[in-house]
Amino acid sequence: MRVPSFAFAARALLAAVPATLVTGCMTASAAQHADAAPPTEQTCNAEPAKAFIGQRFDAATLQKASGAGQVRKVNPGEAISMLFMNGRLTVYVDAQGTITALSCS
C-alpha cells in the first residue's frame, strides 16, 4: 500500500515544528542575556569588620564597616549555601548572638 505524499509532508512538518519552537526560545533567551546590563561589582572587606568579633551582631554596623552589599548571619548549626557572592559578608554567631567569626563570601 502506498502512503500519499501529503501524509509524509505532514509528518515531516509536525516533526520540525517543536525543533523550531525550541530554537526560537533559545535564541530569544540568548538575546535577552546579551542585552542585559552587566552586574554591578560590589566589594567586601572583612578586615575592618573583624574588630567586632566578640560583640553582639548588628547588621548595619557590620555592613558599614565592611562595605558589603549584603550581610548574612549564620546561627549555630544552621546550613548555608556555599555559593560565593563577592559583595556579601557572612557573619557566624553563637547562641547568644555574639560574633564568633566572619568572612566575605
Domain residues for the domain of 55 are 46-104
Same structural domain, 32 and 61: no
Mean pLDDT score of the chain? 79
> How many independent structural domains does the chain possess?
2
Q: Does 41 reside within a domain?
A: no
Q: Between these two residues, 20 and 77, which has the higher pLDDT value?
A: 77
Which residues, listed in sequence order, are joined to residue 14 by a DSSP beta bridge?
A: none
Q: In whole angstroms, what is the distance from residue 104 CA to residue 67 CA?
A: 10
DSSP code for 77: T
User: What does the block give as the cell for 63?
Assistant: 555592613
pLDDT digits (tens, 9 = 90+) for 28-48: 444 444 455 445 566 899 999
Q: Does 78 reside within a domain?
A: yes
Same structural domain, 51 and 98: yes
Whether 105 and 71 have beta carbons less than 8 Å apart is answered as no
Q: Answer whether residue 25 shows pLDDT above 80.
A: no
Whether 43 and 67 have beta carbons less than 8 Å apart is answered as yes
Nearest to 73 by CA among 94, 49, 52: 94
